[in-house]
């Protein structure tokens, strides 16, 4: 599951960093020159819109925050920037040009890059269960939930980590690491049943290229494709319907299943249910919360389940916390259930041999 494009995280900051700034207007250039002169940064104008600024490591934060405090948001986004360790602007530097606002986020997310490179992350798993006619509760699979720590060992909320990655052009790398971790820990902990893997469609360049390594690794590890469910998250960000259909077709042709998260959180979710016809949908936990005492929520969930059933789609109700919520959902005909009422997410200890652990790492590409 190695991907050179996603795992190659460019370096931008050095002991003495040469910033190459390309401004959208002459006025922007003037403001930057005035600022550099006031703050005594070495600056050289190379052409009408290009300014080279040399910044030592101890002044990086001051430069990035203060300089760009001079610009308006759109002006900042239109300013392009790259860096070198020397005075030569080479092809490597040109290939990593970023919008200035993205580079600032990259600086603030240095801990994220460090955590990826030093393997400060793991996957926790939360059971998804079914209930038989006798009321017996049985797990049918596990959802892998990514967890990452900062340089001090503090747990960082996943939403924050992925949001930061998105705004600093690191989403491709982080999403790949999360998918790999989900598969790796599932094997090493000896888990069985279906494996639900979250993925953000925005993190995929091209299905045939970006997902080929994932499918190959899963097959080589002996996991049957029908036991892997790719759960589409951040559904509100899907703007390219053709790309989305291509992703789903790629997964299905490889034998995998597909789930859509947070159905019921808006019209877009219902539209996706009709358009993509997933194998599973997960009812938004905000609808599940307290539906036993809220007739409006209960009515919505009832109709969502009916619509899913008419499309041969299985329904997973997530975020269940009470027996009352579970009873109503069972009465309404949900197929599967997930939530603290059944099990909290937790790290599963590895049970495999050292030989198998080494083999898994080798197949998945290892974490350098």
Residue ending a domain, choose from 108, 142, 172: 108
Specify the 3-state DSSP secondary structure of 240: coil
Band of pLDDT at residue 182, cut at 50, 70 and 90 = very high
Which whole-number Å values give the CA distances from 308 to 33, 212, 257, in the listed order?
A: 60, 30, 16
Q: Are residues 65 and 204 in the same domain?
A: no
Structural domain including 242 reads 114-364
Cα–Cα distance, 269 to 329 (Å, whole number): 19
Span 77-83, average pLDDT: 93
pLDDT tens digits along 21-60 = 999 999 999 999 999 999 999 999 998 999 999 999 999 9
Does residue 78 carry a pLDDT above 50?
Answer: yes
Cα–Cα distance, 194 to 255 (Å, whole number): 13
The answer to the question of residue 238 being in a domain is: yes
Q: Are residues 312 and 223 in the same domain?
A: yes
Q: Are residues 81 and 142 in the same domain?
A: no
Q: Are residues 123 and 237 in the same domain?
A: yes
Q: Are residues 78 and 134 in the same domain?
A: no
Please tell me the total count of domains within the chain: 2
Q: Are residues 135 and 69 in the same domain?
A: no
Residue ending a domain, choose from 108, 126, 142: 108
Band of pLDDT at residue 274, cut at 50, 70 and 90 = confident
Q: Are residues 357 and 335 in the same domain?
A: yes
Q: Are residues 22 and 166 in the same domain?
A: no
Please answer whether residues 116 and 171 qualify as being in contact, where contact means their C-beta atoms are separated by less than 8 angstroms: no
The answer to the question of residue 315 being in a domain is: yes
21: nearest Cα among 40, 58, 47: 47
Cα–Cα distance, 13 to 61 (Å, whole number): 11
Band of pLDDT at residue 215, cut at 50, 70 and 90 = confident
Band of pLDDT at residue 305, cut at 50, 70 and 90 = very high
Q: Give 53's strand partners.
A: 19, 43
Please answer whether residues 313 and 275 qualify as being in contact, where contact means their C-beta atoms are separated by less than 8 angstroms: no
Span 336-354, average pLDDT: 95
pLDDT at position 235, please? 56
Return the CATH number at 346.
Answer: 3.20.20.450
Does residue 230 carry a pLDDT above 80?
Answer: yes
Band of pLDDT at residue 82, cut at 50, 70 and 90 = very high
Beta strands in 217-359 (DSSP E): 228-232, 257-263, 280-283, 314-317, 336-337, 346-347
81: nearest Cα among 42, 53, 39, 45: 53
Return the CATH number at 41.
Answer: 3.30.70.120
Band of pLDDT at residue 205, cut at 50, 70 and 90 = low
The answer to the question of residue 291 being in a domain is: yes
Does residue 140 carry a pLDDT above 90?
Answer: yes
Please answer whether residues 338 and 127 qualify as being in contact, where contact means their C-beta atoms are separated by less than 8 angstroms: yes
> What is the Cβ-side half-sphere exposure of residue 114, based on CA atoms within 13 angstroms?
10
Percent with pLDDT over 70 in the chain: 90
pLDDT at position 368, please? 30
Please answer whether residues 261 and 315 qualify as being in contact, where contact means their C-beta atoms are separated by less than 8 angstroms: no
pLDDT at position 367, please? 35
Cα–Cα distance, 19 to 62 (Å, whole number): 14
Q: Are residues 202 and 166 in the same domain?
A: yes
The answer to the question of residue 5 being in a domain is: no
Span 203-226, average pLDDT: 75
Q: Are residues 218 and 91 in the same domain?
A: no
Specify the 3-state DSSP secondary structure of 347: strand
Q: Are residues 74 and 139 in the same domain?
A: no
Residues in the chain: 368
Residue ending a domain, choose from 73, 108, 143: 108
123: nearest Cα among 212, 169, 191, 171: 191
The answer to the question of residue 3 being in a domain is: no
The answer to the question of residue 158 being in a domain is: yes
221: nearest Cα among 343, 101, 314, 359: 359
The answer to the question of residue 270 being in a domain is: yes
Cα–Cα distance, 197 to 115 (Å, whole number): 21
Per-residue tokens: 236: 């509100």
Q: Are residues 120 and 103 in the same domain?
A: no
Span 228-254, average pLDDT: 76
DSSP letter assigned to residue 344:
-
The answer to the question of residue 203 being in a domain is: yes
């Amino acid at each position: 599951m190695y991907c050179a494009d996603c795992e190659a995280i460019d370096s931008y900051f050095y002991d003495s960093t040469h910033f190459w700034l390309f401004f959208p207007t002459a006025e922007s250039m003037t403001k930057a020159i005035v600022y550099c002169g006031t703050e005594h940064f070495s600056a050289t104008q190379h052409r009408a819109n290009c300014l080279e600024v040399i910044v030592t490591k101890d002044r990086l934060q001051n430069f990035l925050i203060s300089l760009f405090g001079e610009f308006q948001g759109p002006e900042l986004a239109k300013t392009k920037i790259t860096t070198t360790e020397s005075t030569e602007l080479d092809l490597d530097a040109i290939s990593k040009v970023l919008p200035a606002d993205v580079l600032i986020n990259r600086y603030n997310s240095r801990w994220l890059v460090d955590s990826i490179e030093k393997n400060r992350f793991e996957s926790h798993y939360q059971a998804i269960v079914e209930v038989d006619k006798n009321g017996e509760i049985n797990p049918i699979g596990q959802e892998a939930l990514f967890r990452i720590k900062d340089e001090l060992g503090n747990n960082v909320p996943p939403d924050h980590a992925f949001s930061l990655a998105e705004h600093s052009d690191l989403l491709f790398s982080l999403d790949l690491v999360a998918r790999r971790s989900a598969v790796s820990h599932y094997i090493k902990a000896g888990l069985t049943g279906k494996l639900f893997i979250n993925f953000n469609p925005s993190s995929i360049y091209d299905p045939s290229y970006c997902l080929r390594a994932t499918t190959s690794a899963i097959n080589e590890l002996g996991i049957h494709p029908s036991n892997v469910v790719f759960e589409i998250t951040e559904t509100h960000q899907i703007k390219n319907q053709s790309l989305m259909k291509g992703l789903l077709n790629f997964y299905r042709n490889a034998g995998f299943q597909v789930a859509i998260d947070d159905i019921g959180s808006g019209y877009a979710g219902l539209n996706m249910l009709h358009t993509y016809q997933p194998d599973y949908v997960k009812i938004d936990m905000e609808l599940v919360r307290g539906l036993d005492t809220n007739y409006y929520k209960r009515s919505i969930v009832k109709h969502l389940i009916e619509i899913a059933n008419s499309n041969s789609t299985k329904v997973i109700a997530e975020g269940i916390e009470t027996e009352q919520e579970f009873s109503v959902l069972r009465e309404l005909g949900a197929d599967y259930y997930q939530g603290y009422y059944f099990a909290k997410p937790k790290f599963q200890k590895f049970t495999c041999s050292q030989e198998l652990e080494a083999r898994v790492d080798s197949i998945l590409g290892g974490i350098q």
